[in-house]
Amino acid sequence: ICYAVTFEQYMAYIEYIDEAYNAERLTQILTDVTNIIGANILNIAHQDYDPQGASVTILISEEPVVAEELSNSEAPGPLPESVVAHLDKSHITVHTYPETHPDGGISTFRADIDVSTCGRISPLKALNYLIHSFESDIVTMDYRVRGFTRDVRGKKHFIDHKISSIQNYIARDTQEKYQMIDVNVYQENIFHTKMMLKECRLADYLFGVLPDDLTGKELDAIDQKVKQEMAEIFYGRNLRRGL
């Protein structure tokens, strides 16, 4: 989220986002994610689009040597516009959406990430890295376990690891920075977590202008707009102004 009120500031912001998350950068992010979850890269294809956007496709497979520990153990992973990775029968996709309010000066950059994996590979260990790589103000995460596997006696297992919350895969210092809520449906193996940054430094949200260039009244108005935008994205609904 940023505040870019003039057309020139908005175009500069879009250019910055387009460069910061171009195909090369996204390829590196996805390569790091692949390493974190313990997979092998088979092939990489990428493309930058005009006027903006990028896509990356990475074919990957499970490690030839089985890891000693399952990557879905319930613990935080390491820290650090379309990305697709196929993991045998699995994939990782990231699509980015820069957009702006028509007259309010607020611009947002959204990254939608979808991960589907099978076997011993789990994307949960990459959460910390992804949150920090995209410098996220708001994060909405869904984790769903589908299908089943069988043991040697033929008994079906509809989930093969313990999990009570996605939050258990996020580092403590990251948790302390965000307001977090869970909506889980345990009987369906569906886990949902929302995160919103607790403290916002207004200077970090100004693009093409400095706080000293604005009056106190203008700063207060911008601060309200930024917080309103964050709250609406976090709660998933339009809110009355001033909430």
- C-alpha–C-alpha distance, residues 233 and 141, integer Å: 13
Instruction: Report helix, strand or coil for 70.
Output: coil
Cβ proximity of 88 and 62 under 8 Å: yes
- C-alpha–C-alpha distance, residues 96 and 111, integer Å: 4
Active-site pick, 55, 71, 82, 90 = 90
Is 90 annotated as catalytic? Answer: yes
Active-site pick, 46, 86, 95, 192 = 95
Best CA proximity match to 232, nearest among 98, 136, 102, 138: 138
Is 161 annotated as catalytic? Answer: no
Active-site pick, 118, 136, 165, 192 = 118
CA angle, corner 85, sides to 150 and 137, nearest 5?
A: 105
Is 55 annotated as catalytic? Answer: no
Which residues touch 64 (CB under 8 Å, ≥6 apart)? 40
* Catalytic residue list: 90, 95, 118
